[in-house]
Structures are given as structure tokens and as C-alpha cells.
Structure 1
Amino acid sequence: MGETMPSAELLLGSDFANMTDLVRAHASERPDKPAIFCGEDSLSYAELDRAVDRVAAALQRDGGRVGTVVAILGANSIAHVLVFLGALRAGCVPAPLATSATADQLAGMVCDSAAPIIFIDPDYEALALPTRKVRLDRLACWLAPEGALPQPVSVTAQHPFNLIYSSGTTGTPKGVVQPHAMRWFHIARAPAGFDRAVTLVATPLYSNTTLVSILPTLGWGGTVVLMRRFDPRAFLIEAERHRATVTMLVPVQYQRIMALPDFDSFDLSSFQLKTCSSAPFSAALKADILARWPGLLVEYYGMTEGGGTTILVCNAHPGKLATVGTPLPGHDIRIIGEDDRELPCGGIGEVVGRSPAMMSGYHGRDEVTDEASWSDAHGSRYIRHGDIGRFDADGFLTLIDRKKDLIISGGFNVYPSDLEAALLLHPGVEDCAVIGVPSEQWGEAPAGFFVGRADPSELLAWLNARMGKTQRLADLRLIDEIPRNAIGKILKRELRARYIA
């Protein structure tokens, strides 16, 4: 097998390669190179490849076939990564589920995916899930014997790579089917030198944000340093210990790291690339990172579903930090109005995008897939991003707000992000969120929640004195914490339920 195996260089230079074939090539060429660290545990590429074989062989032994969904529910761990890659090698479709989901949501996702098996942390053993459970901490007892090899499988670029469930911040989680072609695009676009990357991963493995950084690292033969859970000081300690060169974090994580009083005492000179995605990233926070944290800072804007992606190299465009950058090469992003017609440059409307990295569709939900699509005059399919934005004359995209969060008060459009940005200018506000609530007078009115030291009534008067008449908050409440999911998105649905209750 080793004599006929294509080299990693040949695979990476091809039009398409299977992710686990890349792992096998690296294991053959650099068997002792560290592939993954997690705490005090680690695997070389040779060890990783052998373990992935055992997972794949065990899945096939238990009836796993090409296209079979394999669910995973657990914290970040090497075992989690082994099941994910082993499922791919067996031709199966890994479906990492959010540990932040409710029991009912998890049961719904398992039913929707039709996964015949789920790998779980012991914390979830008591959940009533309609499938066979295998504990991740007892994976060794389930694995095929040492030296076992799976039956070879063949997959195409359009074969499902994985099934990712949406965060559910605005409703029931939907299964996003991401094809091998989409993941191959993520691997192929990695910058030069990624074979030497030491990527520090502090976001959960069920997140697309995480997979977009971990898969290219392993695909190119770099090293992944996996944190079991995020802690800002522990992150900096791990970065120093492993001389991390790359990381992908969400804005709330950057915010917590930069707020540490002793941040500047850590040696972060090894960093070459820091990326960010998944939630609004303030210009002020970007500027602080540029000033105090070595290496490039790159923001990506896109969706789990695919569509179009923009990139902002913050170091190169310090005057554009309030934007999310320009479309990647090969990505077509447009702005459409309420009548679904394309708007000219400067027009404010819904963002739609098209690229080589697009989902096949929502699992088992063709109607919802159609609703999320838009076609241009030539019949080319775009994905609706659900965001409101506009392009400036230089081609940089500014996001205004989420379309579903738009408040229509007395017939006027009110963007919560405008109010949130204004609230954060007050020294007594640490975090905030604005939602639309029912109003007898206006139909809908903006109401706010904040974390901080200010008096709510005084802060309300301070804000409303600075806003236009149609933007003024009807109510403002002090709470202990703004609810967010694991990748930093505000759970406005929870805030609406709390307000109404």
C-alpha cells in the first residue's frame, strides 16, 4: 500500500483529495511528527493514522457504510477527532452535535440524522437518545484490534463530508450537509507554509469555525494543539508552551484574552496568523489586537452553509476595520432588496453569496433549502446569508445587522447593532444586546439588556438622548450575563422569551 500511495505533495497539488488520504500520506512521510496535542496526551501522524484505521474498521464491522451518519457528542478530545476522521475513512458522514443543545434538541438532531450510533462523553450517557451509544472515554474497548485495516472506499467531491447542525440561535437547528468539495476548498486555500503550522484550537469541535482551521492543519501535515475548553489565561499559557503559530478565535474569546491585566507579559511572538469568524467583531477590538498581538489578523465572514466568504486582512487595511473585507477570489457576493432584485453599490439590503464552498442543502429539508436560495438572472444559485449589509466604493462589505433581528417600529427600520454600538460607548456598559418586543403603539419597539455598572434608568436616558426618535429604546434592563452560544453568538431568542415572561 505504501509503495503505491500518492505523496502528500501530489495529493495537495491535485484538483481533489480525500482528507484521510492526506493523513495517511503524512504518516508515511513524517511518521514521528506530532499531529495532535490535547493536555498531556498526544499522537504522532503514524499513531493517528493507525488509530483512524481502527475506528474505520470498527464502524464497518458494526454496519457502517458509505453515507452512514456517525453522531458525536462530547467536549474537545483526541478521541473525538479519531471518531471524526475514522468515520471519514470508512466513507461515513460524521455529525458532531453541540454540547450546548438541550436534551430535546439533541434527540431531534439524532432522529433527523438517522445516525445508528453516537459517540458520547459520560456526561451524556443518561440522555434518552434513539440510537446506540459508545462512550468516548471507553473508545479503546470498542475499537477494532491493533493493525486492523478498513475496507477501502471511494468518495467523490459531491459525497457528503459531514453534517453540521446550525446553532439554533433563531429557531430549530437544521442539518447542513457539507460535501467533500467544500472541505477540500478549505484545505486547498490554506496559505503557504501551513505544513509547519502549530494551530491552537480553543473553539468546540462541533463548530464549523473549528473545522475550518483544524482540517487544513491536518490536511497539510501541521500540528493541532487542542484545548478541552476555553480559558483566556490557559490559552496564553498553551500558546507559549507550544509556540503556536496559528489560531482561530471568535470575538468574545479575543475580548476576554485582551482584557487580561497581564496579557502583555506573555510571549506571543511565534504567532504568524490569527483569524476570527462567527460573530460581529468590533473595530476597536481589532485595533487593540493589531497593536498588542504579533502576526497577521484576518477576519473571515461567511456561513456554515457556504455561500460567499469575505476576507479582511486587518494589518493591510487599518482604515477598513469596521468592514468584513472583500470577497475571496472565486466568491460572488451581492446585495438584494426586499423585491429580490440586485441593488447597486451602496445599497442596503440582504447579503447573498455563491462560491465553490457551498452546502449541498439542509438534511431532509428541501423546502427550507429552497427558501435559503436566491437565483440571479442566469439561474445561478446563491445562498441567502440572512444578514443586511452594503458594499462601499472600494468593494468592502459592511454588515448592518441580522435580517431576522431587524426591528420595524412604526414603519421604520431599526437596526439593533446601531443601538448596541451606542450602548457600548458608555463606560458603565460591558456587554449588551437589543431585541424587538411587542408594542401596542408602534407594533414593535426596541428593548435592551446590558451587563455593567450603570443605573438602568440613567443609562436609558443617556442613550435615548443620543438616538433618533425612531431608534429610542422602550426599555432597558440590567442582567448578569448576555446569553451566548459556544461560538459567541447572542441568543436573542432567549432574551425575547425572558422579556415576554
Structure 2
Amino acid sequence: MRVIDFFDQAAHENPDRTLVEEPGTGKAFSFAQGKEITEQVARGLVALGNERGDRVGVYTPNCAEALLTTFSLWRIGGVWVPLNPHNAVDSTAAFAAEVELRTLFVHSVYADRIPALRAQVPSLELVVVIDDPAEEIPDTITLAALVTKGEGIMLEDWNDAHGRLEDLCALAPTGGTTGSSKPVMLTNATWAVMMDLTSRHFPRVEVPRMLVSAPMTHAAGILACLLAGQGATTVVLPGFNAAAVLDAMETEKITHTFMPPTALYDLVAAQRANPRDLSTMELLWLAAAPVATHRLAEAVEVLGPWIGQSFGQAEAPGFITWMTPENLSAAARAGDLDRLASCGRPTWGTQVGIMDDDGNLLSTGETGEIVVRGRLVTPGYHNLPEKTAEVRQHGWHHTGDIGRIDDDGFVYILDRLKDMIISGGFNVYPSEVETAMMQLPGVAQCAVIGVPHDRWGEEVTAVVVPTLDSDRDADALIAACKQAIGSVKSPKQVHFVDELPLTPARKVDKKVIRAQFWQGHPRAI
């Protein structure tokens, strides 16, 4: 089935159920209304030249319209390109240009970025403002005007007997960042697998209610779309605030939500300070970064036995493994911190192995690279066949993570082959940060690594050899880097050194650098 077919089936079965709502704003749409709106928007897209396979970006804060426009583009066979507004606009434009973005749904709060996007994305033809801006924004069309353009247009039946399984439904940036990230191809077949896995592994609820507080450009938005296809109501908050999330869980009778570990820690503290009734909760899906095991045990104690954890990546989205709430809660109650360090067992239909450098699969308990097989794995990177081949050696998809599998089939992530840093649920590529830092005055050499952090999982840290005339102002370097590449990817700490350690091949030895910061930690990621 196509993505839109799951949505239409849910709308047919639950026409009067609320599809999406924003508490406190009065904004709410039923499934029947959502279906009508997505059809109207789809007609407008067709009227203005959009075709099946066109890349359509969604560049918005958390809001109901983000969900509605995403399903609208899927209705005509468009390819969803989630764009993170927290990234620097140049990085966003670079990714949009790489995937040849044709149409952009944008919120007026980002109106000042539209000229730069138009200038840097030659393929961009249509910009649709999804809200009701107070003033007209040049070179754009409003959503209402788009709908008017589509009046009288007939939508093509572009399906086939198999649900267009090989058609692209999304081009997702690896790790949720842009710039150095690669566009990952997700097809209708990939989406169908995710639908299957969530329906198999998630708790079954008669009337699911999904709370979105993390950015909809990432896992929270994907989960909202998946559960909407299963008849769930999506309750949208503008952002994460622990007290507001707990209030919504209680008053909105929430059953499902997603959050990264950093948000979980705040949630636990807020619930300790002012307990709410969370009895309707069935699942808090925890993903996107390693979790401190003692924090995980505390979360089960304070919040409840409904936390589940998964391991995934853009190339095998979300659900390579699944740690059920039952397994996680049992480990927490038993004080089994080793088991709490696991990301769970392989999901249904997914093969997970441990491989050495020569392509040999290793035995239980041995350490090597985590490799994956199954329908969840992406067809590859868009227009990057060599990069795709790199991660497909020996007939498996290579995750770039080092791990082991125990006698009970639980997978443990121990280290990382790649330099990539996971900080607060976002993947950060050190090479991109190093390039930005080396452009700054006062920096002679720079190595960027992830340093263990109790809240963020890893903290982006720059180790800098300063120039002779440098004033060694760490705060100024951090501020300048934020201006260049955005706050998510910029260093949070700068350490000045006289020289960087080198390998025999005269390359910067990051293992030596990391060892100084990771000493005493049970896992080196």
C-alpha cells in the first residue's frame, strides 16, 4: 500500500474521530475533514504543475498544518522532504538543492529565509505559506489560494495492483541534519514495513492518542504519520516543555508519545516535582540517542512501566531492534543495568548480525560491527551509488556501530565506527563542524568529537590548536560557529591544546583524543 492508502483507510473507518488538534488554540480536524483538506490541497498542487515523484519540502514548526500538508503531497505521489528549521538556512538550502526540491510548504515564521532558499535552490518553483500571514509574502502563495487554484481539478488514480511499492515516499537526511548528510530513499514499501512493525510491536489501543512535542521534522513526525494511518489522534504541542507535556498527557488522555533521552530526563524531574495522572499512557517510544542506564531505571520508577526503546537510523528507520516496555521495566525493577543498556531484540522480519572487518559473521557475545538485513533497509542514498555500495558490502547493510548480541538475543551498542556524534537525538558530522571552525580567526587546527554528557548523551566538543595571535576566546568561537552552521551542530565546549595527537600516517588520532574524555565510561559512544 501507498502511504496515503493507510490514511484513507483510517479515515474511512473513523471519519468522526479527531485526526489532529492543537490544545489551547481551538484548532482541530476530524479524519473526514483531514481527508477533504488533503484532497483540496492535492488538487491545488496538480493545478500548479506538481507531478508524481516531485520533491516537496515541509519547513514548519510543530503545527496541525504540517501533518495535513504532508499527507496532501503523498496524495499526488509527491516525495516528502522534511526540513529542519533549526539548521542554518544555507545547510537547509544545500540539502534542498541536492534532492531537487520543486515545492515548499513553509510557515510564515520563516518568511525571512525564503529569499535565500529561492536563490540557492534552482529547482524550487512553488512556495506555499501554510498559515494565515498578516502580510503578503513576495513570491509565495497561501494555502487558501492554492486550494482555490485546484477547484475543478480531477485527481489521477496513480495506484497499481501492488500499491506502488517501489515509488519514493520520502528523501530523509541522514541523522536529521543537513549539509554533510546524505538523502536516504524511503519507498512505499519501507513505509509499509514501518506500519507493520509498529502495529506488531507497539501496544494495541482501541483509540490511540499520540502526543507530539519533539520536532515533527524527525521521529515524532514520522510516528504521528504512522499512527494516523492506524486511526490515532495526533495532539500537537509547539515544542517540548516538561510541565506542558505532563499536563497534556493527563488532560488529553495521551496513550503514545516519542521523545529523545534529553526530554525524558526533564520529564522525570517535572513528574517528581508535581505528579500527574499518567494512567492512560501505553507507550513512550524512546530513541535517537544512548540513554544513561540509571536514568532509564529512574524513569520507569517515576513515570511508569510503559517506556520502550529502539535502535534505528535513517537507512533503516526507527526499528532495527525493539526493547519492549515489559522487558525494560523488568530490567529496571531487577536493577539489571546491563540489560537496560541493551536496545532490544531484532524486530519481526529484521536480521541483525555482528561482523568483523573481513565480512565474517561473529558468534554470540563477540564484538564487531552491527549489520542488518530486511525490508526495513533503504534502497540506498539518492544519486550516491558509491556511498550506497560502501554500506552494502558482504550482502548486509552496515550501520557503522560496534556492538554485540547476548545469549538471549539482545543487542548492545558499544562504540561507533563512524565519527558521527549523537547529541540530544541529533546526528552531527564532525567534518562539517571542523570545516566551519577552521574558517574562524584564531584556529590553526581543530578536531571535533563527542564527549559524554549526562543530559545530551554526547556533547559536541572542539579541541583546538590556536594560532599564535589567538586570544583563546572559546565563547567567541562557539558563537561564530553557531552563526555559520546553527546551534545544534556547533561545539558546546572548546578546549585549547598545543598540538593534536597524530597516527603514524600523520592523521589526527581521535581515538587518543576521545580516550581523555571517555575514561571510566562503560561504552565509548
TM-score, with structure 1 as normaliser: 0.76
Q: Deviations over 1:309-349 (max 9, x none)?
A: 11112124443111111111211111222333322222222
Distance in 2 separating the partners of 1:47 and 1:170? 34
Change in 2 beyond 3 A, CA 1:498/1:436:
closer
SS in 2 for 1:236: helix
**Which of 491, 494, 501 is matched with 1:494 structurally?**
491
**Cα contact 1:54–1:150 (8 A) shared by 2:** no
Aligned to 2:209: 198
Aligned to 2:281: 271
Distance in 2 separating the partners of 1:255 and 1:101? 24
* Higher mean displacement: 125-134 or 154-163: 125-134
**Which of 307, 312, 331 is matched with 2:323 structurally?**
312
Change in 2 beyond 3 A, CA 1:271/1:108:
same
What residue identity is the alignment partner of 2:452? Answer: E
**Cα contact 1:264–1:292 (8 A) shared by 2:** no
* Higher mean displacement: 182-191 or 156-165: 182-191
Distance in 1 separating the partners of 2:85 and 2:2? 28
What residue identity is the alignment partner of 1:420? Answer: P
What's the CA shift for 1:398?
1.5
SS in 2 for 1:494: coil
**Which of 332, 342, 351 is matched with 2:351 structurally?**
332
Distance in 2 separating the partners of 1:496 and 1:163? 32
The reply to whether residue 122 of structure 1 matches residue 130 of structure 2 is no
Distance in 2 separating the partners of 1:273 and 1:177? 28
The reply to whether residue 167 of structure 1 matches residue 175 of structure 2 is yes
Aligned to 1:36: 20
**Cα contact 1:53–1:149 (8 A) shared by 2:** no
Task: Summarize the alignment of residues 128-139 of structure 1 with structure 2, pairs less than 5 Å apart.
Answer: 128-129=116-117, 130=121, 131=124, 132-137=126-131, 138-139=142-143
Gaps of at least 5 residues in structure 1 are: 1-16, 408-415, 440-476
**Which of 70, 73, 78 is matched with 1:87 structurally?**
73
Change in 2 beyond 3 A, CA 1:389/1:47:
same
**Which of 125, 139, 145 is matched with 1:141 structurally?**
145
Distance in 2 separating the partners of 1:335 and 1:281? 22
Change in 2 beyond 3 A, CA 1:261/1:65:
closer
SS in 2 for 1:400: strand
TM-score, with structure 2 as normaliser: 0.73
Distance in 2 separating the partners of 1:325 and 1:433? 25
What residue identity is the alignment partner of 1:35? Answer: L
Aligned to 2:139: none
* Higher mean displacement: 84-93 or 184-193: 184-193
* Higher mean displacement: 57-66 or 342-351: 342-351
What's the CA shift for 1:435?
5.8
Aligned to 1:61: 47
Distance in 1 separating the partners of 2:45 and 2:63? 19
Change in 2 beyond 3 A, CA 1:149/1:438:
same
**Cα contact 1:405–1:435 (8 A) shared by 2:** no
**Cα contact 1:169–1:493 (8 A) shared by 2:** no
Change in 2 beyond 3 A, CA 1:430/1:194:
closer
SS in 2 for 1:244: coil
What's the CA shift for 1:176?
1.0
**Cα contact 1:67–1:93 (8 A) shared by 2:** yes
**Cα contact 2:460–2:493 (8 A) shared by 1:** no
Change in 2 beyond 3 A, CA 1:105/1:438:
closer
What's the CA shift for 1:184?
1.0
The reply to whether residue 224 of structure 1 matches residue 208 of structure 2 is no
Aligned to 2:308: 298
SS in 2 for 1:151: coil
Identity %: 24
SS in 1 for 2:393: strand
**Cα contact 2:464–2:494 (8 A) shared by 1:** no
The reply to whether residue 401 of structure 1 matches residue 398 of structure 2 is no
Distance in 2 separating the partners of 1:226 and 1:283? 29
Aligned to 2:35: 49
**Which of 437, 452, 470 is matched with 1:420 structurally?**
452
Q: Deviations over 1:415-461 (max 9, x none)?
A: x88x838xx5xxxx99864868589xxxxxxxxxxxxxxxxxxxxxx
Change in 2 beyond 3 A, CA 1:267/1:360:
same
Aligned to 1:368: 387
Change in 2 beyond 3 A, CA 1:232/1:400:
same
What residue identity is the alignment partner of 1:351? Answer: I
Q: Deviations over 1:270-296 (max 9, x none)?
A: 101111111111211211121122342
What residue identity is the alignment partner of 1:401? Answer: D
Distance in 1 separating the partners of 2:491 and 2:111? 27
**Cα contact 2:308–2:322 (8 A) shared by 1:** yes
> CA RMSD of the aligned region, Å?
3.6
Q: Deviations over 1:164-194 (max 9, x none)?
A: 1123669602111111111111112314634
Task: Summarize the alignment of residues 422-437 of structure 1 with structure 2, pairs less than 5 Å apart.
Answer: 433=459, 437=463
Gaps of at least 5 residues in structure 2 are: 132-141, 422-448, 466-473, 499-525
**Cα contact 2:262–2:456 (8 A) shared by 1:** no
What residue identity is the alignment partner of 1:196? Answer: V
**Which of 192, 200, 212 is matched with 1:184 structurally?**
192
What residue identity is the alignment partner of 1:312? Answer: M
Aligned to 1:74: 60
Distance in 1 separating the partners of 2:303 and 2:464? 44
Distance in 1 separating the partners of 2:386 and 2:497? 31
Distance in 2 separating the partners of 1:123 and 1:83? 17
**Cα contact 1:435–1:495 (8 A) shared by 2:** yes
Change in 2 beyond 3 A, CA 1:500/1:140:
farther
Distance in 2 separating the partners of 1:28 and 1:48? 11
SS in 2 for 1:309: strand
**Cα contact 2:290–2:457 (8 A) shared by 1:** no
SS in 2 for 1:361: coil
Change in 2 beyond 3 A, CA 1:405/1:262:
same
SS in 2 for 1:125: helix
Change in 2 beyond 3 A, CA 1:499/1:24:
farther
Aligned to 2:3: 19
